[in-house]
Amino acid sequence: MIKGKPFVKWAGGKRQIIDKLLKYAPDEFNTYYEPFVGGGALLFELSPKKAVINDYNKELINVYNVLCNEDKFKKMCNVLNSYETNHSEEFYYEIRNKDRNKASFNRLSDYTRAGRTIYLNKACFNGLYRVNSKNEFNVPFGKKLKVNTYEGGNLITVSNYLTMNDVKILSVDFEEAVKDAKKGDFIYFDPPYDSDTSTFNSYTEDGFGKEEQKRLARVYKELSDRGCYVMLSNHNTSLIQELYKDFNIHVIEAKRNINSNGKKRGKVEEVIVTNYENKRGFEE
């Protein structure tokens, strides 16, 4: 089976630690839940037959919905073709600024908006997703001469996976997204990062502070008590150590790949927390 890859570059994307995530994933499970799906690195790697995916970011989830519909997917490909042909700095700002007029933006078709999201992600500076207080995408031009929105047919692979399997797509709060999870289901939480110094960790207009991390830890425990397999990744901070001290905390090294300040890129410690043991994870 050809597996898909994230079709957008997303802050906190997990491609670079995918082997570690696979190592600590449960051996078997029923439905897969990913309540902070972002680019979906683990979703596509596992390609489960039954999944529930969710993200607060409406524009991102709109892309997943379009990929899941054959007819809309074709229409989005036409949009992407024309965006690739017209690509230039001036064109980038023209497409980026479509959300400045909310009335006309809301009249755009879902497949045009999905094409816009993918194009902006590929053409903007460093693949960042950032909106201002008015929910306007405000990342500057990435100075690429050419953009490749399909990336070797990956979009087609991803669309085939989503249409041919039972994948439910939601855009609600993470707690709501996992309310139907049952014993034997696997939930992977990849929330916005906690930070000991608390700097850039706001991916959407809402942000995700210490109180949200604490609420997530309560939900983690509830799911664990329900008999679900629960895995979470985050930075290795004092708060995360405290919140998950009753579970298995595996410390790993990861490369930080999105940082608005290039000098700060480097290795950071991350943790993978599980409420179960599997065969692979404990063979060091």
Ligand X SMILES: C[S@@+](CC[C@H](N)C(=O)[O-])C[C@H]1O[C@@H](n2cnc3c(N)ncnc32)[C@H](O)[C@@H]1O
Residues forming contacts to ligand X in the complex (CB under 6 A) are 6, 10, 12-14, 35-36, 38-39, 41, 54-57, 173-174, 190-192, 203-204, 206, 208
Residue closer to ligand X (CB basis): 76 or 170: 170
Q: What are the beta bridge partners of residue 189? A: 232
Q: How far apart are CA 252 and CA 217, in angstroms?
A: 20
Which residue number, 41 or 80, has a Cβ lying nearer to ligand X?
41
Q: How far is the CB of 239 from ligand X (least distance, A)?
A: 16
For residue 74, the minimal CB distance to ligand X (Å) is 25
Instruction: Give the nearest distance from C-beta 173 to ligand X in angstroms.
Output: 5
Residue placing its CB nearer to ligand X in the complex, 75 or 120: 120
Residues 6+ apart with CB under 8 A from 145: none
Nearer to ligand X, 84 or 239 (CB): 239
Q: For the CB of residue 82, give the shortest distance to ligand X in the complex, in Å.
A: 27
28: nearest Cα among 48, 44, 43: 48
Shortest CB 264 distance to ligand X, Å: 17
Token digits for 96? 């980026």
C-alpha angle 129-114-14 in degrees, rounded to nearest 5: 45
- State how far the Cα of 60 lies from the Cα of 66, in Å rounded to an integer: 10
Closer residue to ligand X (CB): 22 or 183? 22
Helices (H), 87-148: 89-96, 102-107, 110-123
Structure-token match 């690739």, residue found = 84
Would you say 72 and 110 are in contact if contact means Cβ atoms under 8 Å apart? yes
Q: How far is the CB of 42 from ligand X (least distance, A)?
A: 7
CB of 9 to ligand X, least distance (A): 8
Is the CB of 13 or the CB of 115 nearer to ligand X? 13
Q: Where are the alpha helices (DSSP H) in the chain?
A: 18-24, 41-46, 58-67, 70-86, 89-96, 102-107, 110-123, 154-164, 174-177, 210-225, 238-243
Q: Which CB, 75 or 192, lies closer to ligand X?
A: 192
Match 């950032």 to its residue by tokens. 130
Which of 180, 257, 272, 162 is CA-nearest to residue 223? Answer: 180
Question: How far apart, in whole angstroms, are the C-alpha atoms of residue 175 and residue 216?
Answer: 8
CB of 12 to ligand X, least distance (A): 3
- Give the nearer residue to ligand X in terms of CB position, either 31 or 171: 171
